[in-house]
Structure 1
Amino acid sequence: MSAAAKKGVVLVTGVDLAPQAVEILRDYELVFAGAKPGEDDMLKLSEQYQPMGIIVRYGGVTSRVMDVNKSLRVISKHGTGIDTIDSKAAQERGIVVKAAVGANAPAVAEHTWALILGCAKSVAHLDGRMRQGHWDKSTHKSLELKDRTIGLIGFGAIGKRVARTALSMDMHVIAHDPYAKEAVDGVQLVDLDTVFAQSDVLSLHCPLTDGNKHMINAQSLARMKDGAILVNTARGGLIDEKALIEALNSGKLRSAGLDSFEKEPFAIPHPLQHVSNVILSPHIGGVSDNAYVAMGTGAASNVLAVLEAEQALA
């Protein structure tokens, strides 16, 4: 189908989509905004192409972008977290916001465990020591996770996967999620204070909202066990990074594994670069071969469903 014969434009805030996702949207012209589109880029492209849908891979969509685009009907996240989309503004303008719920859950859960085990077993630290010529067998002790308690804040698709792995390792699992209707066998749903107080490993799996920004702060960290591990594969804004650095430097926390940060991309220089007991990764927990396809097809299917529903009513 030629560009002129297409039903409309879908703008993608990235450089590509999985071929399977492109096929789903074969009747639409795809315009790619580039690897790091800012608001000015989005304003220009939206004004020029008037896309009916936007698939958000990187960056976000503001109310200003929505206002220059009179054709926009749906904003679809290439993943699960929609905090970079002004959902309130979209609702006010009758624009549907969708997420590819669960598409990257296996990948994020696996990365969560990579960070937990990396912290518990001091993988990065020992690797560095070995490369410097040290042999720490007689002095090093790792943290054994059997019979320890893992606390999960957020108990959706990712949290449940993390919990199943923890249970297979003979860990105790507690979780806090105000939206969870029921636990699963072996998992106890508790209040937030209990999660902070009882967790040997605390792992975050909740969306970022106005109500939980900096939920990990000096006060909540003080309530945690000495020597606990903190892992975040959710959103960086959940953690007060200054308070976290103080807890890591003081030894209050054994270590932390972070895949998301308050400001992304990671700002260089950054204080966390100089903290030895933290493992850092560039928000790639949900980036895997399978997740790339699942998120792409999920986002594309969400766009198609909204546009086809509107066309059917036209």
Structure 2
Amino acid sequence: MSARPVILVTGADLAPQALALLEGFDVVYAGKAPQEADLVALCQRHDPVAIIVRYGRIPAAVMDAAPALRVVSKHGSGTDTIDRQAAQERGIEVRAAAGANAAAVAEQALALLLACAKSVVQLDSRMHAGHWDKATHKSVELRGRTIGLVGLGAIGQRFARMCHAMDMKVIGHDPFAQDVPAVVRRVDLDTIWRESDAISLHCPLTAGNRGLVNAQTLAACRRGLLLVNTARGGLVDEQALLDAVRSGQVAAAGLDSFATEPMTAPHPFQGHPNIVLSPHIGGVTHDAYVAMGVGAARNVLAVLQPQAA
């Protein structure tokens, strides 16, 4: 075991700017795809005082393997992969680098929204196959359309301003958000389903909102809905969404997160012309990588060295 306190990173690397903040600690990496057994073994070997979570889950078994553990710090904003109740019961703090990847994820949401509205992927494929569909294709104009946002945290608020800049009407639902931009009209969920031409998800996954987008809520939406999800795959009932796309109730969906990740092939979404897919990379930019790493490191220090933070 190291003479210095250990921080375990559930990934293969950490931004140099983050490592500079953690120079008083030994940093141990778990690799690109750590499984629970790997993390338990590393915790038993090194007894870390902190875990910075990039990939994988942190259940109670991992916490119990590290008696010195004081903080689990998410390299990003979503903490649904961490057993928060188990952490609370053990006196372990859970922190998130909230807002560190807001610009990156909001930009990915906008890219997916535009790809859906303008049939970017389908038209590109047709052009490469030698077709010229100008006489038969019509895209969706977003100006004047209503975008419904579920979740108005740092990402949702940034995306709201982007949509407003395109002259979209922005409505949003988030019972916990504060200081929401004036461009957003706050509404209840029923209004989101009823009034939106497009819906974008920006909320954390909880026990209470799993399957939030389902057959019932999709049926309540306007026909021809555009759906974007850059949040968590568990928010969407994937079979219900697939059925809605096939029926035309949902005209197109742009998805960056999925119920099971990595997506296992074959998956029903694969090959569908009206579903645009990306491999949960909304927050994966160089700038966000640095910001999330620095944010996670600072959250560790805020717990371990509060006098210096």
Name the count of aligned residue pairs. Answer: 309
1:187 Cα deviation after fit: 1.4
Alignment of 1:150-189 (within 5 A): 150-189=147-186
Q: What are the within-5 Å matches in structure 2 for residues 1-314 of structure 1?
A: 6=4, 8-309=5-306
3-state SS of 2:297 partner: helix
> Which whole-Å CA distance do the structure 1 matches of 2:13 and 2:56 have between them?
14
Structure 1 spans left out of the alignment, 5+ residues:
none
Question: How far apart in 2 are the matches of 1:210 and 1:269?
Answer: 28
Report the Cα distance in structure 1 between the residues aligned to 2:267 and 2:247, rounded to whole angstroms: 18
C-alpha contact 1:245 1:275 (8 A) present in aligned 2: no
The C-alpha deviation readout for 1:244-273, integer Å capped at 9, x for no partner, is 000011111110000000011111111111
CA distance in 2, matches of 1:84, 1:4: 27
**Counterpart Cα distance in 1 of 2:79 and 2:180:** 25
Q: Tell me, yes or no, if the aligned pair for 2:223 and 2:250 is still in contact at 8 Å.
A: yes
Cα deviation code 1:67-124 (max 9, x no counterpart) = 1110100000000000000000000000000000100000000000000000000000
What SS class does the counterpart of residue 273 from structure 1 fall into? coil
Q: In the TM superposition, what whole-angstrom CA distance separates every residue of 1:125-166 from its partner, at most 9, and x where no partner exists?
A: 000001111000000000000000000000011111111111
Q: Call closer, same or farther: CA 1:89–1:4 in 2, change over 3 Å.
A: closer
User: Could you list the runs of 5+ residues in structure 2 that have no partner in the other structure?
Assistant: none
TM-score relative to the length of structure 1 = 0.96
Q: Matches of 1:137 and 1:165 in 2, distance apart?
A: 28
Q: Matches of 1:295 and 1:181 in 2, distance apart?
A: 22
TM-score normalised by L of structure 2: 0.98
Give the fraction of aligned pairs with identical amino acids, expressed as a percent.
59
C-alpha contact (below 8 Å) 2:157/2:180 kept by paired residues: no
Whether the 8 Å CA contact 1:13–1:34 is kept in 2: the answer is yes
Residues 106 and 311 (structure 1), Cα distance of their counterparts in 2 relative to 1, 3 Å cut = closer
Contact kept in structure 2, 1:21 and 1:293, CA below 8 Å = yes
Distance 1:60 1:116 in 2: 30
How big is the shift at 1:45?
Answer: 0.4
CA shift at 1:310, angstroms? Answer: 8.8
Query: How many angstroms apart in 1 are the aligned matches of 2:247 and 2:182?
Result: 37
Supply the AA of the counterpart residue of 2:32.
A
Instruction: Report if the CA contact (8 A) 1:249-1:275 is conserved.
Output: no
| Residue type at the aligned position of 2:186 | L
Q: For the residues of structure 1 that align with 2:184 and 2:66, how far apart are their CA atoms?
A: 46
State how far apart, in whole Å, the 2-side matches of 1:269 and 1:86 are.
30
Q: Aligned equivalents of 2:265 and 2:92: distance in 1?
A: 36
**CA displacement at 1:211 relative to structure 2:** 0.2
The alpha-carbon deviation at position 304 of structure 1 amounts to 1.2
CA positional deviation for 1:180? 2.2
SS in 1 for 2:276: strand
